[in-house]
Amino acid sequence: MKFVSVRDLRSKSADIWRDLPVEREMVVTSNGRPIAVLSAVTESNLEESLAAFRRARAIEAVAALQRESVARGTDKLTEDDVNAEIAAVRSARVR
């Protein structure tokens, strides 16, 4: 996978757009750190590509929640513990 800096993206954009269909994906970096991914799409695969990207982000979000749960120790809560927590929050709501 090719890496391209923000500076190169600005100064050599014609070259990057020309190469993108061949490379398929490029990582955009700023100060050496990845900040974005460029992905080649066509009219025929745009919706499929967007759906795949959204699925990947959703999967990562769930994984992050799971890691946080393990770090906090809440991954070991029982169903009764969860229901008790929900009931406590609901009863504390101002109506």
pTM of the model: 0.66
Of 16-20, 55-59, 91-95, the least confident: 91-95
65 pLDDT more than 80: yes
| φ, ψ at 27 (rounded to 5°) | -100, 125
CATH code assigned to 1-40: 3.40.1620.10
48 pLDDT more than 90: yes
Q: H helices within the chain, ranges in order?
A: 6-11, 13-23, 46-72, 79-92
pLDDT 10s digits, 3-36:
999 999 999 999 999 999 999 999 999 999 999 9
